[in-house]
Amino acid sequence: MSLLETIEAAAGQVYGRNGLPQSPGHYRRPAEGGAWEPLGVALTPAEKWALIGGASDGGRWRYCAYEALGAHSELPAVRQASAILAACQGLRLRLVERSIIAPQDLADSIRLGEAWRRMVEDSNHSPLAATTLHFLPPDED
Residues with Cβ < 8 Å from 84, sequence gap 6 or more? 7, 8, 10, 11, 112, 115, 116, 119, 133
pLDDT (average), residues 42-56: 72
Residue 54 has pLDDT above 70, yes or no: no
Q: What is the pLDDT of residue 129?
A: 36
Q: What is the pLDDT of residue 15?
A: 94
Q: What is the pLDDT of residue 132?
A: 38
pLDDT (average), residues 87-116: 84
